Amino acid sequence: MMVTGADHYYTTDPKDMSASGYSFEGITGYLYPVKFAHTIALHHWFNPTLGDNFYTVNEPHLPTPGDGYDYKGIVGYIYQKATRGTAPLLRWYHSIGDHFYTTNSRGIICHNALQH
């Protein structure tokens, strides 16, 4: 996970870390690079006006045309259901216009991270 200003950006590409202007904050979790049994795609959208990165596995919750989000592609694959040794990826939203993702169900990391 990386942060700049009021936006969090998640990547599996180390080159993104040095060229994006974001600061490294730590590892949120791990993705699989290819689809296999019981995994689903994690989609990445970006709104350049808001400067907001949005990630989702739920196709009904994809941003709609006209809301300013551009589709960036699939960043990887995660398990569709709880599997031994995994934690759910949770999405939080802050009114400053930032989506934040964590595996911390208590939201402590989310609260601290959104203070940037």
Per-residue pLDDT of the chain (116 residues; tens, 9 = 90+): 444 556 777 777 767 766 667 777 777 778 889 999 999 998 988 888 888 888 888 765 666 666 788 888 899 998 888 888 888 887 777 777 777 777 777 655 444 444 44
Residues 48/74/29/47 CA torsion (nearest 10 deg): 10
Q: Residue 21 falls within a domain, yes or no?
A: no
Give residue 45's domain range.
30-113
Residue showing tokens 């590892």: 27
Q: Residue 5 falls within a domain, yes or no?
A: no
Q: How many domains does the chain have?
A: 1
pTM above 0.85, yes or no: no
Q: Residue 55 falls within a domain, yes or no?
A: yes
Give residues with Cβ within 8 angstroms of 75, minimum separation 6. Answer: 10, 11, 12, 31, 42, 43, 44, 55
Q: Residue 88 falls within a domain, yes or no?
A: yes
Q: Residue 40 falls within a domain, yes or no?
A: yes
Q: Residue 54 falls within a domain, yes or no?
A: yes
Q: Residue 61 falls within a domain, yes or no?
A: yes
